[in-house]
Amino acid sequence: MVPPEARMRASPPRGARALGAALRARIIALAAMTFPLAAFAAPVALVNPGFESKNPGEGGNPEGWVAIQHAGDESYDFALDSGQKRSGTQSMRIKRIGPEPYGTIAQILDGAPYAGKTVRLSAWIRTESIPDGRNTGAALVLAAMRGGSFLAHDFMTRSRVRGTTDWQRYSIELKLPPATTRLELGAMLEGAGTLWVDDFEMETVEP
């Protein structure tokens, strides 16, 4: 048993204890600023995200995907390309062959389960001979919709991929409004040139 006087000698002064507590609190606060908590990401299942499925899709499209272009004459060629792929055996190629302004390869999801959340879309893009210009470039696309109306979207307007580039991974994020019922995602080529895309991933991101 330790005598009371020994315990008194061993105990730090009250002021020292307060200083120690304040120092610990400051260290914890600095650590939180230096190493913030990472956002929690939960994967969202996509159909045929790497264009490897051999199952036929609707209208001759790859399974899970739909090719869309601006109304008018056929202006974009959509094809699976085994000569250029980031992984696996093939990628999706979009090439402009006519006058219309854009062509998109898209996948459509039920947006209700993700309404009110932030989603992140990532994919690998390669480009060839895409000119500089205001309405040109390759991009990932995310659109939150209710019925046929846009509620929010990200088409990489300020960060389009132009020129001739090797495979590189790109990501975009979109906060989905609570009223979202439909989610469209994919890749778009606006203007001339060729776009290849491969290995899509999507996830919800929560702080």
The string of pLDDT tens digits covering residues 66-122 is 999 999 999 999 999 999 999 999 999 999 999 999 999 999 999 999 999 999 999
pLDDT greater than 60 at residue 5: no
Exposure string for 182-197, b = 16+ CB within 10 A, e = fewer: bbbbbbbbbbebbbbb
The string of pLDDT tens digits covering residues 8-25 is 344 555 554 554 566 565
- Residue 93: the pLDDT is 98
Average pLDDT over residues 165-193: 98
- Residue 22: the pLDDT is 62
Determine how many CB atoms are found less than 10 A away from the CB of residue 105. Answer: 25
Place of tokens 């260290």: 27
pTM score of the predicted model: 0.80
Average pLDDT over residues 166-195: 98
Q: What is the mean pLDDT of the chain?
A: 88
- Residue 147: the pLDDT is 87
Determine how many CB atoms are found less than 10 A away from the CB of residue 157. Answer: 12
pLDDT greater than 90 at residue 31: no
Return the half-sphere exposure (C-beta side, CA atoms, 13 A cut-off) of residue 202: 26
Q: Which residues pair with 144 in a beta bridge?
A: 152, 183
User: H or E stretch including 144?
Assistant: strand 137-146
Q: Which of 28-37, 66-75, 130-139 comes out lowest in average pLDDT?
A: 28-37
CB 108 within 8 Å of CB 90: no
Angstrom distances, CA of residue 167 to CA of 59, 107, 125: 28, 21, 5
- Report residue 43's pLDDT band, with 50, 70 and 90 as the boundaries: very high
pLDDT greater than 70 at residue 167: yes
pLDDT greater than 50 at residue 3: no
Please tell me which residue, 165 or 37, carries the higher pLDDT value: 165
The string of pLDDT tens digits covering residues 137-160 is 999 999 999 988 999 999 999 999
Place of tokens 């094809």: 79
